[in-house]
Chain A
């Protein structure tokens, strides 16, 4: 080996001492190395349990709010989500909520009135036939759940930007909030509210929206994850005060954009 060949013939005591000392050091270091190789050792080194610590939680929520801002920058108001053909629709379309399908709220459409509030010019209540009379649009798009799965569905309704225009919403405001019949609540950024594919949906697959999919209406946004799409909407309001959301207040990311 190269080392041996180049070793000097005369023994230099000083350098030998350095080498010996280093070699003696190694076993202790090796042991230390073995210890920090384990995950448990890594956790011990940080001096705190990784997920229960309050300061860690605060830090993670802050990063999540920072990610909201980044997603706001990344969001292109003109970029459309892909659309699909009728044959590609997922059947049956999965039901998903924080309760079972037979616990979905039953709303009486006859005396239903949609409340509109906050930074709007006209806050009169809307009956369903009035909403059905608004310009209608339809889309076959992919619903992406925060859990990872996705399903393609067909929704019909009025473009939400059209509705906001009708109620004279202040579109320079930051948020649009929703309160729902199942005690769900949610809020979205104004840019997404005005996106051409954001639909105040009244139908699913050509039929009146069934209770399990959010009768009398849901907000359908193919640019956001499933939990951002509120069902059984009772009230819509425009605000500059951050309203949060049912899952968001428990830790899901607020922007939740795709």
Chain B
């Protein structure tokens, strides 16, 4: 009797690759891009704050001065955009998007959120996302898309008039860009806290199983 094989199937989440290499690579590239975009973006924001009186401490920023921050921002944007497109295309092409994120109902999100807050949501099986995870990751995807498009509207407000109008004009596109950044920062904080609570999920994103 092949007990070893039986055991392997029983420990499926321990052995089988749950996060394929392309997911892990694009996840970490995205993490680097998002950190660079945020730190440099905060410096750019400080040059002319959208919200009067709200400034980001310069110690938390990247680039040293406005010109340096702009260079970082407009270099890291290529990594962010192309990695994001790769991630989306692969998710659609492999069917992962539907398999892992759907079905997703508002009710299931609320149910899992309540369970999570009561400490009753199981994290034993990392090969399936719970409804809160599904929602959070889908939210991050949509939010990054909004960040890219509102950024494009700010950068090229004359060349992309439709995009500019979609975001309510040049000045309002800056407000949208900032708010989308703040929401993504919120996501990152929750995401990192969750990883600290369930450290196995970090291993999963590094070695795939």
Q: Which residues of A contact B (CB under 8 A)?
A: 1-3, 6-8, 10, 12, 14-15, 19, 22, 26, 29-30, 33-34, 37, 39, 42, 50-51, 59-61, 63-64, 67, 74-76, 79-82, 142, 144-150, 222-223, 247, 250-253, 257-258
Contacts and interface: CB of A to CB of B under 8 A. Distances in A.
Contacts of A147: 47-48, 66
Given A63-B78, A253-B74, A7 B7 contact: yes
Contacts of B125: 2
19 contacts: A2-B10, A7-B7, A8-B3, A10-B1, A10-B3, A12-B3, A37-B202, A42-B35, A50-B62, A51-B64, A60-B71, A74-B159, A79-B159, A144-B157, A144-B170, A147-B47, A247-B67, A258-B156, A258-B157
B114 interface: no
Contacts of B208: none
A148 B65 CA distance: 14
B142 interface: no
B11 A252 contact: no
A146 B62 contact: no
Nearest to B32: A42
B158 A258 contact: yes
Given A33-B199, A150-B171, A75 B159 contact: yes
Across chains A and B, which 10 residue pairs bring their CB atoms closest together, nearest first?
A: A251-B67, A6-B10, A147-B47, A148-B48, A147-B48, A63-B75, A60-B71, A12-B3, A33-B202, A149-B48
B140 to A, nearest CB: 17
Contacts of A39: 35
Chain A CB within 10 A, most for which of B8, B9, B72:
B72
Contacts of B8: 15
Nearest to A42: B35
> Is the interface on chain B under 10, 10 to 19, 20 to 34, or 35 or more residues?
35 or more
Contacts of A79: 158-159, 161
A222 B158 contact: yes
Contacts of A145: 48
A60 B4 contact: no
Contacts of B1: 10
A142 B170 contact: yes
Interface in B120-175: 124-125, 155-159, 161, 170-171, 174
Contacts of B6: 6, 8
A2 B128 CA distance: 14
B159 A60 contact: no
A114 B48 CA distance: 35
Interface string B65-84: 11110111011001000000
B129 to A, nearest CB: 17
B182 interface: no
B74 A29 contact: no
B90 interface: no
Given A15-B7, A147-B66, 6 more contacts: A6-B10, A8-B7, A60-B68, A147-B48, A247-B67, A252-B67
A93 to B, nearest CB: 15
B116 interface: no
B179 interface: no
B124 A1 contact: yes
B63 to A, nearest CB: 6
Interface in B188-207: 192, 195-196, 199, 202-203, 206
A61 B159 contact: no
A51 B66 CA distance: 13
B33 interface: no
A3 B10 contact: yes
